[in-house]
Amino acid sequence: MRQIVLDTETTGLDPGKGHRIIELAAIELCNRKVSDRRFHRYLNPEREIDAGAAEVHGLTLERLQDEPKFAEIAPALLEFIRGAELIIHNAPFDVGFLNKELELTGLPGLNNYCASVIDTLKLAKELHPGKKNNLNALCDRYQIDNSHRTLHGALLDTELLAEVYLSMTRGQKSLLDDGSNEQDEEPIIVFADLSRLKLRVLPANVDELAQHAQQLADIDKASKGACMWKQLELLEVQP
């Protein structure tokens, strides 16, 4: 299975208003392992960069004057991603810019080259409803070191996103599995006599119950009423 983690930096927020890609990076995953293959280019957008965008990534038009234009790197990019599944955080944004750049180059849209696109932002919202799911928040949640991310950069962000994606989709084989060993191994089965075991029950206190109720309310709001726990509670109180 070949996947490509991809990210872009741009001159602004809307390709429909003439904004362009100024940095593009992609790294390859093969069978859930990060390979040594990278694709990274800075691009001359041939237009000014919005001040708000420059504050995010730190790139200026002066810095990019001698870089290639998108049309010059398009063949190499399309060869690198051809046939792969793309992994992008907030995919509609990057895909929209890439499709616009391909259109300006006279080439067909991205779906003509790639098998599919996974939006890790959408995936994160499904896994963590009601929580912050930007890249920094996900790095903190999955204990991935992002202390060197002082500005947005496409190459660094793809490296971090690859780790985030693998952590989000690793799964657990058992309650005692921390997911650190993904190789198939013969399971170790231990039998124990639990017939004399007495469980100690510690009921939740008032503060804990209140926090639990608030958490369910946040999940229910974020999922637009699809919180199963809340639905089960309603069933329990019905005669």
Please give the positions annotated as active site. 152
Kindly state the tokens that stand for 144.
Answer: 């991935």
Yes or no: say if 46 and 21 are a contact pair by the CB < 8 Å rule.
no
How far is C-alpha 46 from the chain's CA centre?
29
